[in-house]
């Protein structure tokens, strides 16, 4: 599947599911969004997407911006040399943790380490014996679930005693703990933990790679630097950021989109059909794998003139 139309058909089709192999599903958990398909996926997605819509993001923005300012002050300023990908990994993980429930500190660093071990488990042979990477990844998952369980207990106590800090009142953990399904029941602990873990890993990896590649393209195209990150309006406080600022930063948005076009962190993947499908006269049986690929569109001169050129003005 290589055209924009084909990719939409695969990615927006509830009759296709993530093809996760059993060992990957075991690492993310059976209640994580990527382990669900069909109606169940639609429902889970509905619960979770409201924590990332415009209203939710505008509530988190200040905290995430403070995380960015602190990160640059602590890890970039005054340094002679920084390794961009290491730094964007650390920043993206700090930002996503801040948005979910955790501040920077020793616990977050340990969480980052366990997430790295878990991620390595996705790429390896699923041999669950001591000494093997998959065994270590499952142990890391156990540590993560216990840690998230303790954070949830603590936050529940704070909610009951009305002691939740201003920042924690708007984070994803408080939102998930107080949200209800369509029958008015609270979301299960297993659902909350599996999806906090999925967001921590899914949200930080792709963001980090895009940020690192943006730094690369800005370094290669110094003229881009002049306007990159500039907010509209004179006299703006550089330490604050609002949704209006973000919408006004059109050039910054173009630079990020152009980086995503040339270096998509997920250039393609497979989805499995959960029912028989008909597409453009082809019959696709249930259980088949469909491959989507955004790179075939991004590098096609039919859609992007001179496709290999980095040009944020397109
Ligand atoms: C530039 C940054 C990002 C890129 C390029 C990106 C890319 C993608 C792509 C291509 C998929 C589809 C994979 C598929 O359906 O097979 C996906 C799914 C997903 N992403 Fe991201 N992502 C980014 C940031 C994030 C962030 C910040 C979060 C979390 C806060 C996140 C969480 C997820 C989740 C949970 C899914 C699964 C969605 C579902 O099953 O319906 N991603 N991402």
CATH number at residue 185: 1.10.630.10
Q: 19 lies in a domain?
A: no
Q: Which of 9, 11, 266 for mutating ligand 1's site (highest number of atoms within 8 Å of CB)?
A: 266
Q: 146 lies in a domain?
A: yes
pLDDT tens across 75-112, in order?
Answer: 999 999 999 999 999 999 999 998 888 888 999 999 99
| Count of beta carbons in the 10 Å neighbourhood of residue 218 | 18
Nearest CA to ligand 1 atom 31: 203
Q: 251 lies in a domain?
A: yes
CA 80 – ligand 1 centroid, Å = 34
pLDDT tens across 27-86, in order?
Answer: 999 999 988 888 888 889 988 988 888 998 998 888 889 999 999 999 999 999 999 999
Band (267; pLDDT cuts 50, 70, 90): very high
Q: Which of 8, 52, 195, 203 for mutating ligand 1's site (highest number of atoms within 8 Å of CB)?
A: 203
Q: 14 lies in a domain?
A: no
Find how far residue 132's CA is from the centre of its chain: 27
Find how far residue 300's CA is from the centre of its chain: 27
CA 202 – ligand 1 centroid, Å = 6
CA 60 – ligand 1 centroid, Å = 18
pLDDT at 5: 94
CA 211 – ligand 1 centroid, Å = 15
CA 290 – ligand 1 centroid, Å = 18
For ligand 1, what atom is nearest to the CA of residue 265? Answer: 5
pLDDT at 226: 80
Average pLDDT, the chain: 91
For ligand 1, what atom is nearest to the CA of residue 195? Answer: 35
CA 17 – ligand 1 centroid, Å = 14
pTM, full prediction: 0.89
270 beta partners? 291
If one counts the domains in the chain, the total is: 1
List pocket residues of ligand 1, CB cut-off 6 Å.
11, 18, 33-34, 45, 96, 198-199, 202-203, 206-207, 210, 265-266, 269
What is the residue range of 40's domain?
32-266
């Amino acid at each position: 599947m290589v055209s924009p139309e084909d990719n939409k058909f695969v990615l927006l089709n509830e009759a296709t599911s993530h093809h996760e192999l059993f060992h990957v599903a075991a690492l993310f958990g059976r209640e994580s969004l990527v382990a669900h398909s069909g109606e169940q996926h639609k429902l889970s997605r509905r619960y979770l997407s409201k924590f990332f819509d415009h209203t939710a993001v505008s509530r988190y923005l200040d905290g995430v911006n403070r995380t960015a300012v602190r990160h640059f002050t602590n890890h970039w300023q005054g340094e002679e040399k920084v390794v961009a990908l290491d730094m964007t990994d650390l920043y993206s993980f700090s930002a996503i943790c801040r948005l979910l429930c955790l501040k920077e500190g020793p616990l977050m660093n340990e969480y980052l380490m366990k997430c790295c071990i878990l991620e390595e488990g996705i790429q390896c042979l699923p041999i669950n014996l001591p000494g093997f990477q998959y065994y270590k990844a499952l142990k890391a998952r156990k540590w993560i679930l216990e840690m998230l369980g303790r954070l949830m207990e603590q936050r529940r106590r704070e909610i009951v005693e009305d002691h939740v800090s201003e920042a924690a009142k708007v984070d994803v953990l408080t939102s998930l703990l107080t949200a209800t399904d369509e029958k008015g029941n609270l979301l299960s602990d297993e659902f909350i933990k599996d999806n906090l873990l999925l967001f921590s890993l899914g949200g930080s990896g792709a963001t980090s790679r895009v940020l690192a590649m943006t730094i690369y393209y800005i370094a290669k195209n110094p003229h881009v630097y002049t306007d990159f990150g500039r907010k509209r309006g004179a006299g703006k406080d550089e330490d604050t950021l609002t949704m209006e600022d973000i919408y006004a930063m059109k050039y910054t948005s173009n630079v990020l989109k152009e980086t995503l076009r040339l270096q998509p962190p997920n250039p393609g993947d497979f989805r499995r059909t959960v029912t028989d499908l008909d597409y453009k006269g082809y019959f696709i049986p249930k259980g088949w794998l469909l491959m989507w690929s955004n790179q075939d569109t991004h590098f096609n001169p039919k859609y992007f003139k001179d496709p290999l050129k980095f040009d944020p003005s397109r």
